[in-house]
Amino acid sequence: MMRIVLLGPPGSGKGTQASAIQDRRHIPHLASGDLLRAHVADNTGLGRRAKPYMDRGDLVPDELILDMMAERLAQPDTQRGYALDGFPRTVAQAEALHRRLLGLGQRLDAVIYLRTPEAELLRRLSGRRICPNCNAIYHQDTMPPKREGICDRCDSPLVQREDEQPDVVRNRLRVYAEQTDPLLDYYRAQDLLHEVDATIGVDRVLAEIDRVVDTASKQTAKDQT
C-alpha cells in the first residue's frame, strides 16, 4: 500500500509521472484537475461553481476541492493506496487531508516535489494543444502533430485550453507560488518531502521517483512491524 502526493507547479509533469506510478504500482492516479474538468463537462453543481475560478486561472476554493476529493477517496479502488496529483494545493487542504487520513488510521508515505524553473513551465504550458474529441495531447515544440493544428488520431482541429493561454499561465504560476509553496515547508516539517529536478527528462525523473517511493515503502513496512 502506498499513498503518495505529487507537488509541483502547473506544467511540472505531475500528471505524466502520476500516470506512470499508477501503471507501476497499480494504484489509482487521482488528478484534481481532471476531476474538476469532468465535473465542469458534466455540468454538475460543483462544476458550475468551480468553472469561473478555473477560467481565470485562480485556485478553486478549498471547500469545493475537499468535497470533490472526499467523494473520490471514499471509492473502493483507493483502499490499496493512490497517487494524488494537484491535491492538496494549500496548507488548509493538507491539514484537512491529514485529519481525514488520521480518522481512517492512515497516513501519507511520501510527498514528491517536482522542481521546475518558471521559464520552462511557460514553454511547456503555452505550447500545449489538445484534441477536444479524443483528448490526445500535443506540444508545438516537443510533440507536434503531423499536420499543423490537426489531431493525428481523429483529424479534429486542436485547441489550446483556456487555462493555458500565456496570460492565464502566468497568473496560475503566481497563484501557485503564493498559495501552494507553503506546502513545501508543511511537508518538510513532517519529514515527508522529497525534491526531484523535473528538467532532467521524463525517464530519469521517474527513476528518481521510483527510488523515493521504494525507500518510503520500506520505511512504512518497517514502521508497521
| Per-residue pLDDT tens digits for 73-90 | 888 999 889 999 989 988
Task: Kindly state whether residue 21 falls inside one of the protein's structural domains.
Answer: yes
Confidence grade of residue 4 (pLDDT, cut at 50, 70, 90): very high
Percent of the chain with pLDDT over 90: 47
Of residues 217 and 35, which shows the higher confidence score? 35
Q: In this structure, what C-alpha cell is assigned to residue 144? A: 507536434
Of residues 117 and 217, which shows the higher confidence score? 117
Task: Kindly state whether residue 166 falls inside one of the protein's structural domains.
Answer: no
Does the structure show a pLDDT above 70 at 225? no
DSSP lists the bridge partners of residue 150 as: 147, 157
Residues 6+ apart with CB under 8 A from 66: 93, 96
pLDDT of residue 75: 87
Task: Kindly state whether residue 134 falls inside one of the protein's structural domains.
Answer: no
pLDDT of residue 106: 84
Q: Could you give the residue numbers annotated as active site?
A: 14, 89, 128, 161, 172
Number of domains within the chain: 1
pLDDT of residue 116: 93
pLDDT of residue 145: 94
The Cα-based distances of 161 to 40, 79, 132 in angstroms read: 14, 33, 9
pTM assigned to the model: 0.79
Task: Kindly state whether residue 125 falls inside one of the protein's structural domains.
Answer: no
Report which secondary-structure segment, H or E, holds 27: none
* HSE toward the beta carbon, residue 171, CA cutoff 13 A: 14
Q: pLDDT of 107-152, one tens digit each? A: 899 999 999 998 898 888 888 899 999 888 899 888 899 999 999 9
Task: Kindly state whether residue 33 falls inside one of the protein's structural domains.
Answer: yes
Task: Kindly state whether residue 65 falls inside one of the protein's structural domains.
Answer: yes
Residues 6+ apart with CB under 8 A from 75: none
CA atoms of 9 and 154, how far apart (whole Å): 31
Task: Give the residue from 164, 127, 170, 133 showing the smallest Cα distance to 151.
Answer: 133
Containing domain of residue 85, as a range? 2-117+180-224
Does the structure show a pLDDT above 80 at 187? yes
Task: Give the residue from 182, 199, 58 showing the smallest Cα distance to 121.
Answer: 199
pLDDT of residue 151: 95
Task: Kindly state whether residue 128 falls inside one of the protein's structural domains.
Answer: no
Of residues 220 and 60, which shows the higher confidence score? 60
Q: pLDDT of 15-71, one tens digit each? A: 889 989 999 889 999 988 889 989 999 999 999 999 998 888 787 888 888 888 888
Does the structure show a pLDDT above 80 at 224? no
User: CATH no. for residue 110?
Assistant: 3.40.50.300
Task: Kindly state whether residue 154 falls inside one of the protein's structural domains.
Answer: no
The arithmetic mean of pLDDT across residues 204-208, rounded, is: 95
